Homo-oligomer: A and B are copies of this chain.
Amino acid sequence: MDSAVLLDILGNENRRRILRLLSHKPCYVTEISEYLGVSPKAVIDHLRKLEEAGLVESRTDDQRRKYFNISRNLRLEVDVSPYEFDMKSAYPASPSLDVSTCQYLSLNVQYGNQPDGREAEDDTETVSEAEAGEIATLAEELNCLEDLKSELSLAQRWVHGRITNVLDQLGEEVDENGQNRIRAEILAALAAGAETVRDVSRETDAPEHIVERHLTSMSERGIVKDNGGNWTLSG
């Protein structure tokens, strides 16, 4: 989903309250209206926008009354700094994703089993010993995952702060009329192994003539070197 659409949707207090309510349990329009103290008409309007964005969906119960629930797993990340305004929204990664292929990151969690698609239990049935064991394992996994989620969030904030620091430091060395950010990106692309103007342009998402202008200007100051069209860092 487009991050801008998502921010437009979430930029409304009543829509956020509807989502919070639905995350606790599926609701009828009348329930939402009473809980929020908002007219059913206004609730229906918000629900329509949430449905159009694919965030909620409606079903009908045995009495053919329509109820609503959140239909989608979604994550939105926004980073703001003097050098950055970055919005990203994404569906959850597949549970079978192999996180161990990450280069800079290791996760020390047990990877749990996939759901086995078994039928739901009767709500009041006594559980067997094996089921109780499975529930305990799931509860432990949930506990680990929630701790890991906090650690990842902390790590993201640490990285965000470090990136700003590095850009501050690079800015002191290479800035020219506030063109710090693009220059830093060009240097990072060279550090990652990009050599030609075209490579760097693709890495940095900047037009080739802009990349070329910065490379030339930085080579005049001895920051980068041009080896016949193959650019490298001087240091």
Give residues in A with beta carbon < 8 Å to B.
4, 6-13, 16, 19-20, 22-26, 55, 69-85, 87-88, 90-95, 97, 99, 102-109, 112, 114-115, 118-121, 123-127, 129, 131-149, 151-179, 181-182, 184, 187-192, 220-223, 233-235
Contacts and interface: CB of A to CB of B under 8 A. Distances in A.
Given A103-B147, A165-B95, A83 B23 contact: yes
A124 B171 CA distance: 13
A102 B235 CA distance: 34
Contacts of A223: 127, 132, 135
How many copies of this chain sit in the oligomeric assembly? 2
Nearest to A146: B188
B75 A76 contact: no
A162 to B, nearest CB: 5
Contacts of A233: 132, 135-136, 139
B82 A154 contact: no
A186 B24 CA distance: 14
